[in-house]
Amino acid sequence: MGTNSDLSQLALVKSHDLEWTASPVPNVWRKRLFHTGGAENGRVTSVVKYGAGSSFHLHPHPEGEEIFVLEGIFSDVRGDHKTGTLLLNPEGFEHAPVSADGCVILVRLRQYPGSRPQKVVRTDEMDWTAADHGGPGTVRSKMLLSEEGFEDTIELQLWEPGTEASLGAEKGLEAFVVKGSCESADGRGLHLPKHSWLRLPCGESVALRCTEECVLYLKRDALPLAEQADAAVAFREGSLPGQATMAAPLSAAWGRHECRRRARQQGKRGGRGGTC
């Protein structure tokens, strides 16, 4: 069944209402906001907490990984990543993360597929720019990912108190409240305190307002990537209906993708990937 796995439905999770659950690694806990697929190798969005001195075993990331550091310092082979850092890890990347003093991160696994760049974005070194939102209040923006050839984007938005704006995207949107809180301004009764996660289906929008300063982490137009990832897993597992007679383009596309993946992985340590 998964958790909030129906991408056609609005989903809202207030992570502070969830209990921390143990991961397979000692002193690392998680709160799953979204999950589909295998228990420890599926596609998942989680808030993950590393206890002081905790470490994760060396592992790869099939279909990629996205990390945003919410609190503390997260460390891996590339160095120490403080609060506000975005890490994008494509297929073929391996690391063994640690946290000396503990940290909290937002993690999206198997949701950065294909030939994508590896990125470290230090948002504290970026300037806020004015954003036109067509409503009362003030919105400022930091664009963290906008890549030619790919539709999905990642953006930080800072809303001043009294701001009202509409969120949505043609191909879906996810919003995570990094700081402050907001609520629906269109009578839908939604309340998003700090560390809430909201997913809107393709083409759907919601009007939100805030009475305190609010920072939102926004992922737009990524639902088609999620659907492609599900199709790829189903194809590998032979579970698609009528797979024997599937159209050649899907088979060919997956074949090219799999050949690239295997070429990158050849000679590297295998594994099932991160499990948070």
What is the DSSP secondary-structure string of 15-47?
A: GGGSPPEE-SSTTEEEEEEEEESSTTTSEEEEE
Q: What's the pTM value of the predicted model, to 2 decimals? A: 0.83
Tell me the mean pLDDT in the region 92-108: 93
The answer to whether domain 16-122 and domain 124-220 are alike in fold is yes
DSSP reduced 3-state for 63: coil
Q: Tell me: the pLDDT tens digits for 184-233?
A: 998 999 999 999 999 999 999 999 999 999 999 999 998 866 555 555 44
Tell me the mean pLDDT in the region 234-244: 46
Instruction: Name, in order, each residue with C-beta under 8 angstroms of 177's C-beta and a sequence gap of 6 or more.
Output: 192, 193, 194, 195, 196, 197, 214, 215, 216, 217
Q: Please give the mean pLDDT across all residues of the chain.
A: 84
Instruction: Name, in order, each residue with C-beta under 8 angstroms of 57's C-beta and a sequence gap of 6 or more.
Output: 25, 96
H-helix segments, the chain? 223-237, 248-265
Q: What is the CATH number of domain 124-220?
A: 2.60.120.10
Q: What would the two tokens of residue 58 be?
A: 């060396």
Residue 72 clears pLDDT 80, i.e. is over it: yes
Q: What would the two tokens of residue 110 be?
A: 């198997």
Mean pLDDT is lowest, of 65-79, 166-180, 249-263, for 249-263
Instruction: Name, in order, each residue with C-beta under 8 angstroms of 83's C-beta and a sequence gap of 6 or more.
Output: 69, 70, 71, 72, 73, 124
Q: Tell me: the pLDDT tens digits for 37-56?
A: 888 778 999 999 999 999 88
261 pLDDT band, cuts 50/70/90, is very low
Domain ranges of the chain: 16-122, 124-220
Which string of DSSP letters, residue by residue, matches 216-237?
EEEEES-HHHHHHHHHHHHHHH
Strand partners for 52: none
What homologous superfamily does CATH list for 16-122?
Answer: Jelly Rolls (2.60.120.10)
Position 141 scores a pLDDT of 98
Q: What would the two tokens of residue 190 be?
A: 């939604």
